[in-house]
């Protein structure tokens, strides 16, 4: 008989990572809209994060939003895009990048220009 240890997937840790590292995300309207019932579903939280990132960039373009919130959002996105787990990278493309397509074109361009190396490479793979 083989012994095994059931380990929690890193994918299950994504909601907590985004809540704890992206300044203002947990208090945002985008996060609150998903409700308690979906707050631990990685795909749902990632989609809400994409909406939050669009809002942050749109606000910066018009009202100079807090740099620390924007910086923390891009750092979290880079961590997710750099994950060794393919499931996390797939959700980045399916839940975050797909949702970013809903941003205004000028906001999307701003986001694309700020992506870190891994996030940018993953974005390029999706849209080649």
Residue 23: CA atoms inside 13 Å, Cβ hemisphere, count?
A: 11
38-52, 54-68, 72-86: least confident range: 54-68
pLDDT at residue 8 tops 90: no
Q: Is the pLDDT of residue 21 over 90?
A: yes
Residue range 105-113: average pLDDT?
A: 93
- Confidence grade of residue 96 (pLDDT, cut at 50, 70, 90): very high
Q: Which residue has the tokens 């974005």?
A: 123
Return the ∠ at Cα 99 (arms to 96 and 103), rounded to 5°. Answer: 120
Taking residues 64-87, report their average pLDDT: 88
User: What confidence tier does 88 reach under pLDDT thresholds 50, 70, 90?
Assistant: very high
* Res 6: pLDDT: 47
């Amino acid at each position: 008989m083989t012994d095994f240890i059931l380990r929690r997937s890193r994918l299950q840790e994504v909601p907590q990572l985004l809540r704890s590292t992206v300044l203002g995300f947990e208090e945002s309207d985008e996060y609150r809209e998903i409700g308690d019932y979906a707050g631990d579903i990685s795909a749902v939280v990632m989609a809400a994060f994409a909406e939050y990132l669009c809002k942050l960039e749109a606000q910066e373009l018009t009202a100079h939003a807090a740099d620390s919130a924007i910086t923390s959002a891009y750092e979290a996105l880079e961590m997710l895009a750099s994950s060794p787990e393919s499931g996390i990278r797939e959700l980045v493309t399916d839940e975050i990048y797909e949702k970013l397509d809903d941003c205004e074109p000028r906001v999307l361009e701003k986001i694309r220009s700020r992506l870190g190396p891994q996030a940018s490479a993953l974005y390029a793979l999706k849209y080649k």
